[in-house]
Amino acid sequence: MNTRRHRGTIKSVSGTVLSIDHLAAEQHVIRIECPEIVNSALPGNFVHLRCNRELAMRRPMSIMRVSKNQGWFDMLFKTVGVGTDLLSQQSVGDEISVLGPIGVPFKLEGYRKRPLLIGGGVGIPPMIYLAEHIKDQTTSSQPIVLMGSEVPFPFQTRPSQIMSTQCPPEVLACMPLLEDWKVLSRLATNQGYSGCFNGFVTDLAKYILNMNRSSLDEFEIFACGPNTMLEAVKALANEFSLPCQISLEEHMACAVGGCAGCAVEIQEGQNIAMKRVCVDGPVFEAETVIFPSK
Ligand SMILES: Cc1cc2nc3c(=O)[nH]c(=O)nc-3n(C[C@H](O)[C@H](O)[C@H](O)COP(=O)(O)OP(=O)(O)OC[C@H]3O[C@@H](n4cnc5c(N)ncnc54)[C@H](O)[C@@H]3O)c2cc1C
Ligand code: FES
């Protein structure tokens, strides 16, 4: 399957808001009916949205879940500025202009036995999409999904019933949706939320990898989150010699490869190439990503 998205495959369509749930810490989950997007979406893809009719510049948002049968997709977003504020004011039945699906997805097959999915903050949505894809695609790979947040998680956490010797025994808080899919998940925070790992999500990942030193070849890493987290993930993958794909975020104007406003430095052999996060990414092999120095 050709999974590359370019100007010839990205659709500009109208979607209808089916629901919008307002959660703690100005986080929102919005469900959009839009079969044209859903039919060709893949885990790691995103859409570029008109947040409302008056705001000309679109905003990029990851796809968190799709229902191919019912023709909707979900996004989880946090209000951080004018665009996300306007998006949060959408109501059921509103029409919304959607450009998508956009971007190189995560790898879609050939997973190792224990894919380790690491999501931080608003980097959680692509990890949920990928976890669902892996679960539906194969029974020989059982993902472990780790999520970190410094604001209340955008779902009601509950103690996991899936016991694992691979995770710290006292860390039981999980995401109910993943638990219902029988996918192992664990949560991390520095805020002392009940049942969560006390620390960064990458510290929890390191704990798990250390616990599994004899079977590291069963692991591979997928991650999305803030750059500081992704840098730590890249270092972790390097330390444990694991394959690792990460999804980057950049400010975007066109999101279809035309303006190069989202270019980042990527190592290609001996050379450094400028790559557009929108259409050459957002998913890249972690070892090739050169993070901007602070
Ligand atoms: C591929 C991709 C997927 C994304 N998926 C999600 C998602 O699933 N959920 C979600 O909540 N957000 C996601 N984002 C980030 C989201 O697009 C920005 O938060 C949004 O564009 C901010 O728009 P605004 O008008 O509300 O804020 P602005 O007023 O434009 O900015 C407010 C603040 O957010 C920062 N900001 C704006 N855009 C970005 C960006 N792209 N990356 C990092 N910081 C940014 C600004 O520097 C500023 O500090 C994604 C971004 C990309 C590139
Ligand atoms: S946002 Fe224009 S090329 Fe990526």
Please tell me whether residues 150 and 41 are part of one structural domain. Answer: no
Q: What integer is the mean pLDDT of 260-264?
A: 96
129 in any annotated domain:
yes
| CATH code, 29 | 2.40.30.10
242 close to ligand 1 (CB < 6 Angstrom) = no
163 in any annotated domain:
yes
72 in any annotated domain:
yes
273 in any annotated domain:
no
| CATH code, 213 | 3.40.50.80
Tell the residue nearest (CA) to atom 6 of ligand 1. Answer: 61
Percent of all residues in the chain with a pLDDT value above 90, rounded to a whole number: 94
Whole-number Å distance, alpha carbon 115 to ligand 2 midpoint, is: 30
Please tell me whether residues 201 and 80 are part of one structural domain. Answer: no
pLDDT tier at 1, thresholds 50, 70, 90: low
Of 245, 266, 284, the residue at which a domain comes to its end is 245
User: pLDDT averaged over the chain?
Assistant: 95
Please tell me whether residues 27 and 145 are part of one structural domain. Answer: no
Please tell me whether residues 53 and 176 are part of one structural domain. Answer: no
* Residue 191 belongs to domain spanning: 114-245
Residue-wise pLDDT for 151-196, tens only, equals 999 999 999 999 888 889 999 999 999 999 999 999 999 999 999 9
87 in any annotated domain:
yes
How big is the chain by its Cα radius of gyration, in Å?
A: 18
289 in any annotated domain:
no
Please tell me whether residues 232 and 206 are part of one structural domain. Answer: yes
Please tell me whether residues 135 and 21 are part of one structural domain. Answer: no
Complete DSSP assignment for 262-290: TEEEEEETTEEEEEETTTT-BEEEGGGB-
261 close to ligand 2 (CB < 6 Angstrom) = yes
Count the domains in the chain.
Answer: 2
Please tell me whether residues 122 and 212 are part of one structural domain. Answer: yes
Which residues make Cβ contacts (< 8 Å) with residue 263, sequence separation at least 6? Answer: 250, 274, 275, 276, 277
27 close to ligand 1 (CB < 6 Angstrom) = no
pLDDT at 128: 98
86 close to ligand 2 (CB < 6 Angstrom) = no
Give the helix/strand (H/E) hosting 234: helix 227-239
237 in any annotated domain:
yes
126 close to ligand 1 (CB < 6 Angstrom) = no
* Residue 6 predicted with pLDDT over 60: no
Please tell me whether residues 85 and 126 are part of one structural domain. Answer: no
Query: Would you say the pTM of this structure is higher than 0.85?
Result: yes
pLDDT tier at 90, thresholds 50, 70, 90: very high
Q: Which amino acid is at 24?
A: A
Residue-wise pLDDT for 222-261, tens only, equals 999 999 999 999 999 999 999 999 999 999 999 999 999 9
276 close to ligand 2 (CB < 6 Angstrom) = yes
Please tell me whether residues 128 and 237 are part of one structural domain. Answer: yes
Percent of all residues in the chain with a pLDDT value above 70, rounded to a whole number: 97
Q: What are the angstrom distances between the C-alpha of 35 and each of 18, 152, 214, 217, 256?
A: 13, 32, 45, 39, 20
Say if strands 65-67 and 59-62 run parallel, antiparallel, or are unpaired: unpaired
> Which residue of 51, 59, 129 sits with most ligand 1 atoms within 8 Å of its CB, as the best mutation to test the pocket?
59
Please tell me whether residues 212 and 133 are part of one structural domain. Answer: yes
Residue-wise pLDDT for 92-121, tens only, equals 999 999 999 999 999 999 999 999 999 999
pLDDT at 293: 78
274 in any annotated domain:
no
